[in-house]
């Protein structure tokens, strides 16, 4: 069995008297892809924010083993930066050099059928292309182990 990358156990979250999560468990192993599905308003985004450490759970624990990328619903992009500049910035946050970050970002973008060359800043990218950039940035933290590695 592959190494556990993310383990959430007994996650509960309330907003006032409204319970949005109650006893939610999830285990994701290295190399595995997981989907959190459900109807609107059932706590999927809240659960993922808890797993990413952006929101605290009222109950339960989240354990991260290694590096896990988080790709939020709303892209966390800097509107006046080009894709390469995003790759460099996010790579620097993970102590990866500029050249290596650019190379990894471009390689992952190509795997999404996206050519990042050109002068376009994030604000000039289509919504779908912004999501591609967001996805690449989520995976950029561990390019050697990324599921897209060639």
List, as one string, the DSSP characters of 56-96: --SEEEEEE-S------SS----TTS-HHHHHHHHHHHTT-
State whether 55 and 92 are in the same domain.
no
In this predicted structure, the answer to whether residue 90 has a pLDDT above a threshold of 50 is yes
Does 95 map to a domain?
yes
Does 26 map to a domain?
yes
In this predicted structure, the answer to whether residue 144 has a pLDDT above a threshold of 50 is no
In this predicted structure, the answer to whether residue 1 has a pLDDT above a threshold of 70 is no
Average pLDDT over every residue of 46-64: 93
The separation between the first and the last C-alpha atoms of the chain, rounded to the nearest angstrom, is: 22
State whether 10 and 59 are in the same domain.
yes
Q: How many domains does the chain have?
A: 2
Does 30 map to a domain?
yes
Average pLDDT over every residue of 6-25: 95
State whether 36 and 87 are in the same domain.
no
State whether 25 and 59 are in the same domain.
yes
What is the predicted pLDDT for the residue at 141?
Answer: 67
The fraction of the chain above a pLDDT of 70, given in percent, is 92
SS3 content of the chain, % helix, strand, coil (to 5): 35, 20, 45
Higher local confidence (pLDDT), 72 or 116:
116
State whether 47 and 16 are in the same domain.
yes
Does 108 map to a domain?
yes
Q: What is the CATH number of the domain that holds 30?
A: 3.40.50.300
pLDDT tens-place string over residues 96-130: 899 999 999 999 999 999 999 888 999 999 988 99
Does 78 map to a domain?
no
Q: Which range of residues forms the domain containing residue 37?
A: 4-64
């Amino acid at each position: 069995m592959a190494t556990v990358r993310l383990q959430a156990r007994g996650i509960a979250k309330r907003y006032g008297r409204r319970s949005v999560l109650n006893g939610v468990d999830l285990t994701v192993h290295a190399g595995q892809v997981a989907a959190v599905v459900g109807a609107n308003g059932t706590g999927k985004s809240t659960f993922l924010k808890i797993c990413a450490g952006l929101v605290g759970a009222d109950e339960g624990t989240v354990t991260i083993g290694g590096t896990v990328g988080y790709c939020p619903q709303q892209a966390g992009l800097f509107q006046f930066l080009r894709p390469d500049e995003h790759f460099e910035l996010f790579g620097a946050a993970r102590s990866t050099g500029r050249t290596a970050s650019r190379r990894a970002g471009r390689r992952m973008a190509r795997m999404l059928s996206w050519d990042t060359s050109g002068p376009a800043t994030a604000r000039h990218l289509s919504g779908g292309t912004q999501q591609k950039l967001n996805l690449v940035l989520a995976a950029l933290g561990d390019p050697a182990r990324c599921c897209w590695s060639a």
